[in-house]
Structure 1
Amino acid sequence: MMSARTSATQTGRTTVLSVARRVLPALGKPLLFAALMWLAAAAGEIAIPGTPVPITLQTFVVMLAALMLDWCQAAGAVVLYLSAGAAGLPVFAGGASTAALFGPSAGFLIGFLPGVIVTALLRGNARLDSPIHAAITAVRFFGAALIGSVAVVYLFGFAIQSLLTHTPITVVAIASMGFVAGDIIKAAVAALATTALAKLR
């Protein structure tokens, strides 16, 4: 006959395994996207004349996270990424770390968090049972990315850069139009890519 202690031990192991099966996948996706944000920053940057903030693929990865994960996981990925930089790891553009959170790019980096949450909450569920519904889903994803990952992120970015550089926000906005155009294209690509991936799943 199985002893009470053995039974309790087996029950405990079953509970731990059950929790691990639920928790590990939930942690894995934010970790993956946090690593992708770092890789996108490390892949290189393009300088834009008139602004101290370079173009990178980070915003594209942020959009993908928001469109592919639930809002908690997407926010977790951004928090992990920002925390790594705050801890001194060179995960930001140009190999920067903590200093970037107090420099001209700070607002854009901080804006990733509310931006990814807004995008994930606005995107809705993918409906792919017909070409028309798939097209509507792609348009909805695009709109969510524009509002959250572009408008919200830039709102934070412009405001904080204006404050730190003592430059009128209109001047900052005009100088950043190259970023805005690029991110609109990224939003379209991210929407199409995530819709296609959803169809494959």
Structure 2
Amino acid sequence: MISQHRSPVLDHVARTADAATAKRLLASGARMLLFAGLMWAAAAAGKVPVPGTPVPITMQTFVVMLAALTLSWREAAGAIGTYLVAGAAGLPVFAGGASTLALVGPSAGFLVGFLPAVVVTAMVRGKARTGSVKARALTSLRYFGAIVLGVIVVLYPFGAFVQSVLTGVPFPAVMLASLGFLAGDLPKAVIVSVACAGLSRR
């Protein structure tokens, strides 16, 4: 008859693996909650109106960029998803202290669009290579390209389309007005890319 008892060594290995897994999950959850909180803080910090569109400039795209370059795509998606769920549940986490109604208003497409934007950016950013100044510079450029793809190429049309549907304003007009966000988002993209690639280090 085969013994049903595992050796003490195997038991110890299993317990160690379980503890390590639990620690990783807790750390991952903490990072997601941190960035969800940063999204709320960025919305609460204030907003800058953009002529021609009811959607204001906030620091939220900065947080989206930072999450995409520092978290895994699953963690980044979890952070933005947690933020959106909190707003949908009635918490005043959106710009101007708005909550559920913001998800059916002019900003809805941009709010929901944060999710695909952060996932795309995180998935295409590639691995950081920081062994030399040249490597950090190339990583910074790759990060910048990933942000442009996710936060501009994906987010802008997505947000503009939903806003067009909800307001009845033609999509080209909404999209043209949305390009005003570039004045804030491009400098943010440069700053985040350089910082996350370590190019700012001496």
Give the TM-score taking structure 2 as reference length. Answer: 0.89
How much does 1:18 deviate? 3.5
Q: Note the C-alpha offset of 1:38.
A: 0.4
User: Residue by residue, what CA displacement relative to the aligned partner does 1:12-35 show, whole Å, maximum 9, x if unpaired?
Assistant: 976663332121011111111110
What is the aligned counterpart of 1:47 among 46, 49, 58?
Answer: 49
In the alignment, which residue of structure 1 is the partner of 2:31?
A: 29
Q: Which residue number corresponds to residue 21 of structure 2?
A: 19
Deviation at residue 151 of structure 1 after TM alignment: 1.4
CA distance in 1, matches of 2:133, 2:18: 43
| Contact 1:123–1:144 (CA under 8 A) maintained in structure 2 | yes
What's 1:147 paired with? 149
Give the match's secondary structure for 1:120: helix
Letter in 2 for 1:27: G
**SS state of the match for residue 166, structure 2?**
helix
Structure 2 gap segments, 5+ residues each: none
1:156 paired residue number: 158
**1:32-77 deviation line (CA, Å, top 9, x unaligned):** 1110000000000111222111110000100000011110001010
Q: How far does the alpha carbon of each residue in 1:106-151 deviate from its partner, in whole angstroms, 9 at most, with x for none?
A: 0001111111010001100010111111100000000000000121
The one-letter code sitting in structure 1 at the alignment partner of 2:113 is: G
2:78 aligns with 76
For 2:41 and 2:199, how far apart are their aligned partners in 1? 21
Matched, 1:95 2:119: no
User: Which residue is equivalent to 1:136?
Assistant: 138
Alpha carbon RMSD of aligned pairs, Å?
2.1
How far does residue 197 in structure 1 lie from its aligned partner after superposition? 8.3
Paired with 2:171 and 2:153, the residues of 1 have a C-alpha distance of 14
Q: How does 1:165-184 map to 2 (within 5 A)?
A: 165-184=167-186
Aligned twin of 1:64: 66
Structure 2 partner of 1:116: 118
In 2, distance between residues paired with 1:199 and 1:19?
Answer: 33
1:195 deviates by 1.2
Give SS of 1:178's match. helix
Contact 1:126 1:198 in 2 (8 A): no
Q: Which amino acid aligns with 1:149?
A: V
Unaligned stretches of 5+ residues in structure 1: none
